[in-house]
Amino acid sequence: MSEKDPAEIFGDALCDGLAAVVDTDRYKKAKQAFLDSMWDDLQYSIIDNMPEALEMLVRDMADRAVNAMLQGQPDEVRRYLKLDGWTGRDRDHPVIHGTLLVPQTMELRAKVAKANEALLRDERILDLEDQVAALVKSVASKDLEIERLRDRVSGSAF
């Protein structure tokens, strides 16, 4: 027979001692009181922090939805707005009882455009001004090139 290691003997004695204490009613009541207290603390913590967590979630999802809308990604808009009930049928613009049904994304885009008409108009005007300036520059460059070619052709002897 092999002799037990002193640490093993001590471990066994400690386990036996703890088992005797753990089985007492006093311990069971203390354990239950501790667990009840932890549960109450956890519950109050969740309730206290929930409004802030929901606000952060809503802000993040709204921000992502607006950015997706501005980037022309309707599927991402639906994802961030949790429009899980949306189906591909909306893309077909069905007519029911003589009324054309508009998909939610088109309706949202129209509301955003209507609410920001001046901003969109001004931005569109700036875009068009930039395009006109680029076209004028391009035409001027082509005119110079045409003049150079005319001078070159008129200067050469045939």
Q: What is the pLDDT of residue 154?
A: 86
Q: What is the pLDDT of residue 81?
A: 78
Kindly provide the b/e burial profile for residues 111-148, where b requires at least 16 CB atoms within 10 angstroms of the residue's own CB.
Answer: eeeeeeeeeeeeeeeeeeeeeeeeeeeeeeeeeeeeee
Sequential pLDDT tens for the chain (158 residues): 567 787 787 788 878 777 776 667 777 788 888 889 999 999 988 899 998 988 998 899 889 888 888 888 877 887 887 765 544 444 555 556 666 666 666 777 778 778 888 887 888 888 888 889 899 999 999 999 999 999 888 876 55
Do the beta carbons of residue 67 and residue 51 sit within 8 Å? no
H helices of 23-92, in order, are 25-70, 74-80
Q: What is the pLDDT of residue 103?
A: 65
Q: What is the pLDDT of residue 102?
A: 64
pTM beyond 0.85: the answer is: no
Q: What is the pLDDT of residue 90?
A: 47
Q: What is the pLDDT of residue 83?
A: 64
Q: At residue 32, what are phi and psi to the nearest 5 degrees?
A: -65, -40
